[in-house]
Amino acid sequence: MKKSASLLLALTAVLLMSSCVSTKKIVYFQNSDQVFSQAQQIIQQYEMRLKPADQVLVKVTCSEPELLTVFAQDVMMGTSGGTNSNLSSISSSGSMSNAYGYTVSNDGAITLPAVGRVEVAGLTSDEAAKRIEQSIINANLIKDPEVTVRLLNARVAVLGAVKNPRVVNLTSERNTILDVLSQCGDIADTGLRKKISLYREEDGVRKKYSIDLTDCDIFTNPAYYVQQNDMIYVEPNKSQSVKSSAFYTFLSAGASIIGVVSAILSIVILVTK
């Protein structure tokens, strides 16, 4: 009986140990004390660059409000070709401002009223604003335009083993993969923090970046700062499929029964000594 009890105890121990997870698989940013013993320079590009199908808000202001009417008239006539809505307004200071939504065409341009096509693909929002300002000046419309460009539809899709898979709308142009995952409730218990894939469209091709959240090298990964239209996939561990199987249900029940039987046998052995 002693031999049987020992065998059952050993089997129970193995089953319990198999359910344990090493902290090396779940702790983020390991060895960060050594890596960040000195400040690290940020080397990645985090500003989003405009791409085809992006929707952008273009706002034009100047010191002479009457010069802006050409934009409003063109948009009202429907000749701008790319506007989604007329957002003209008059500020509290009395200067008129025009703000319109545009979609970047497949060949990377937007069409502005009275100005025409302006190539913006590959530019940051600030760079696009400067180019639009120069286009307005070159068209002899306004001598001192001030243009603001803002990306309207920046978003990232998050799939796989996260607590709340969803499409995350980006509220600024500096967003890290940690920001996005936190908005999804972080990685689920069944997720592999070492096996995260980020898919990105760049220069007409789709690229894949591999990310390991347990390694502090993530801070220098090209995919640390997300871009609009990125897709993030967190790979689940094997227990995700195993737990839903009939064998796992049987194994869990069996382990519980073995544990109870082992405890009873241990008590019986102690009593009979």
**pLDDT by residue (tens digit) across 208-240?**
999 999 998 889 899 999 999 999 999 998 865
Mean pLDDT of 55-62: 90
Cα within 13 Å of Cα(36), Cβ side:
12
* Cβ–Cβ under 8 Å, residues 185 and 88: no
Q: Which pLDDT tens digit goes with each residue over 61-82?
A: 888 877 777 776 544 333 333 4
Q: Which pLDDT tens digit goes with each residue over 205-214?
A: 999 999 999 9
**Average confidence score pLDDT of the chain:** 78
At a CB cut-off of 8 Å and minimum separation 6, what does 56 contact?
A: 50, 101, 102, 103, 104, 110, 120, 125, 128, 149, 150, 151, 152
Task: Please give the structure tokens belonging to residue 254.
Answer: 């069996």
For residue 132, give the nearest of 143, 150, 145 by alpha carbon: 145
